[in-house]
A and B are shown apart, each in its own frame.
Chain A
Amino acid sequence: MTRIIVVTSGKGGVGKTTTSAAIAMGFAQKGHKTAVIDFDVGLRNLDLIMGCERRVVYDIVNVIYGEATLNQALIRDKHCEQLYILPASQTRDKDALSQEGVGQILEELAAKDFEYVVCDSPAGIEKGAHLAMYFADDAFVVTNPEVASVRDSDRMLGILSSKSRRAEQGLEPIKEYLLLTRYSPERVRIGEMLSVADVQDILSLHLLGVIPESKSVLTASNSGMPVILDEKSDAGQAYADIVARYLGEDKPHRFIEEKKGLFGKFFGSK
């Protein structure tokens, strides 16, 4: 059974593509055959984060228009052979995508025994975002701890529960998970940022994990290595926890509390 996961947020710049790349790599590292699809037609980024930009020949629009087969367009990842990337087109716009075309690609991936298909949604609630989430079974809602991002996520959750295939056909609703990214406990303490509890209170959503604000994310993006491969970094570990939790492992939440300094550790103060 193929599980289709959409990584979505509504708002831009919150970490959808970073998250898509990290979790897709996480699933593949655990031995699951995984595909990650970039739906951001016109603003192609996923290939850069995955470090495969120099190997792109065909893209999702070529496949939809029958100019290439899915096999020709799928790029096998260099680090993990269970992972495949379907890039977006940079020269077209979102109208080049069609619901039938996307449905056909997902059916074909299911026929090829992919276990997980990660759909990297573009920002906004227009066609690209709509098609990215339409066929989803699970939704990873990526949210930054600030009010605008939280409201946009809330809007996106409304669309997930009313305009998806599962909603239209009256099936079991999409499972929704909250991923809180760019979290900084220090800034929460001084009141500059919403806390995990605040966000959960507003969104009332199952928290899959908190990813701390981390320099390693930018470093990873620039080097074309999904941050989950950087096992020493806090963000990499946070994504590894998320993948494990999603697959059913019981992992306690980390990165919610402030790191205790050496002094704090000795005296147990917070």
Chain B
Amino acid sequence: MIFFISNVKLPTVNNAVASTDTDRFSKMSNNSPILEFKSGSFSVPILILFTDDLKAIGQQLQEKVDLAPEFFKNSPLIFDVQELNKQGYPVNIPVLVEIIRQSGLLPTGIRGGNAQQNKAALELLIPVYSVHIGTTPPDTQKQKNITPEPIVDVSTATTTLITRPIRSGQRIYASGDLVVLAPVSAGAEIMSEGNIHIYNTLRGRALAGVQGNTDARIFCSDLQAELISIAGNYKISEDISSTVGKKSVQVYLQGHTLIIQDIV
């Protein structure tokens, strides 16, 4: 099982997709939006093959599926033939696809295939995924023309940027990272589900990872905070050494202890 990211929110209006790009954009600009593209991340099983013995593959696949039929039923699957090609056993794609389908799985991609295999897969409307850099076959250029690179965007929440001073009594909440270019006054409170960056003086309270992200950090160029917190673990002004101010520091969580460290 791996994480992989692809543009997945499939359009519900098929004729718009079938038309050319220019058509699509003119339609989008004329009317209210019909569809939109978004990136999402899914966990999809990858089937790595070590033999071209199609009979044995069918048998073992069925055995695996029988262990958890509900889990595998109609599950998307990407098959990886890189290992086979390395050994010089180019497998017949249409037959392989048929075998996978018989076991109740839905093949949705091929990885590590040669030009001929990729072509065969595309004829069966199965997309081609590239393997990691360095191991791609020489005809990747052609593949790239067919399948665009997936958009890698791990977090869906955006970064919030604040350029005006955050005054006493003001509160800022960011669902992603928070970047502050102005001072944060005493009595102000800034919160973020992700990291907090303050390229100025922090005199108020800064709480990072407020939804429990223990990997969140606070970066600050002048730490004079009333309180700093990461995922609920906090330090108050009294516990923060007065020597940390006037220089760049980062704050991170080690176990349940906040560590304040200089950034050299």
A98 within 8 A of B: no
| Surface stretch bound by A, among B12-20, B26-34, B161-169 | B161-169
* CB–CB A158/B168 < 8 A: yes
In the bound assembly, the distance between CA atoms of A152 and B167 in angstroms comes to: 10
A-side contacts of B169, CB under 8 Å: 154-155, 158-159
A-side contacts of B186, CB under 8 Å: 151, 154, 202
In the bound assembly, the distance between CA atoms of A152 and B164 in angstroms comes to: 18
* CB–CB A157/B187 < 8 A: no
Interface of B is mostly: loop
B185 within 8 A of A: yes
The one of B165, B166, B168, B170 that contacts A151, using a Cβ cutoff of 8 Å:
B168
A233 within 8 A of B: no
* CB–CB A161/B187 < 8 A: no
A204 within 8 A of B: yes
- Check A154/B164 contact, CB under 8 A, given A202-B185, A202-B203, A204-B183: no
A-side contacts of B201, CB under 8 Å: 201
- Check A155/B164 contact, CB under 8 A, given A162-B170, A202-B203, A204-B182: no
* CB–CB B168/A155 < 8 A: yes
Instruction: Name B179-230 residues within 8 Å CB distance of A.
Output: 182-183, 185-188, 201, 203
In the bound assembly, the distance between CA atoms of A14 and B169 in angstroms comes to: 20
Q: Mark B81-101, 1 if CB is under 8 A from A, else 0.
A: 000000000000000000000
B-side contacts of A173, CB under 8 Å: 164
In the bound assembly, the distance between CA atoms of A151 and B183 in angstroms comes to: 14
B-side contacts of A161, CB under 8 Å: 164, 167, 170
* CB–CB A154/B182 < 8 A: no
Interface of A is mostly: helix
B-side contacts of A152, CB under 8 Å: 168
* CB–CB B188/A158 < 8 A: yes
B-side contacts of A157, CB under 8 Å: 165, 167
A-side contacts of B183, CB under 8 Å: 202, 204
A-side contacts of B170, CB under 8 Å: 158, 161-162
* CB–CB A155/B182 < 8 A: no
Q: Which residue of A lies closest to B166 (CB)?
A: A158
B-side contacts of A201, CB under 8 Å: 201
A-side contacts of B185, CB under 8 Å: 151, 154, 158, 202-203
* CB–CB A151/B182 < 8 A: no
Q: Which of A151, A154, A155, A158 has the most CB of B within 10 A?
A: A154
B-side contacts of A204, CB under 8 Å: 165, 182-183
In the bound assembly, the distance between CA atoms of A75 and B203 in angstroms comes to: 45
In the bound assembly, the distance between CA atoms of A152 and B187 in angstroms comes to: 10
Instruction: Name A157-188 residues within 8 Å CB distance of B.
Output: 157-159, 161-162, 173
* CB–CB B203/A158 < 8 A: no
Q: Which residue of A lies closest to B167 (CB)?
A: A158
Q: Quote the shortest CB–CB distance from A208 to chain B (angstroms).
A: 17
Q: Which residue of B lies closest to A125 (CB)?
A: B169
Q: Quote the shortest CB–CB distance from B82 to chain A (angstroms).
A: 55
Q: Which residue of A lies closest to B185 (CB)?
A: A154
Q: Which residue of B lies closest to A159 (CB)?
A: B169
B-side contacts of A151, CB under 8 Å: 168, 185-187
In the bound assembly, the distance between CA atoms of A43 and B187 in angstroms comes to: 29
In the bound assembly, the distance between CA atoms of A143 and B88 in angstroms comes to: 82
Instruction: Name A128-163 residues within 8 Å CB distance of B.
Output: 151-152, 154-155, 157-159, 161-162
Contacts A152-B168, A202-B203 known; list 13 others, CB within 8 Å. Answer: A154-B168, A154-B187, A157-B165, A158-B166, A158-B167, A158-B168, A159-B169, A161-B164, A162-B170, A202-B183, A202-B186, A203-B165, A204-B165
A-B contact pairs, 29 of them (CB 8 A): A151-B168, A151-B185, A151-B187, A154-B168, A154-B169, A154-B185, A154-B187, A155-B167, A155-B168, A157-B165, A158-B167, A158-B168, A158-B169, A158-B185, A159-B167, A159-B169, A161-B164, A161-B170, A162-B170, A173-B164, A201-B201, A202-B183, A202-B185, A202-B186, A202-B203, A203-B165, A203-B185, A204-B182, A204-B183
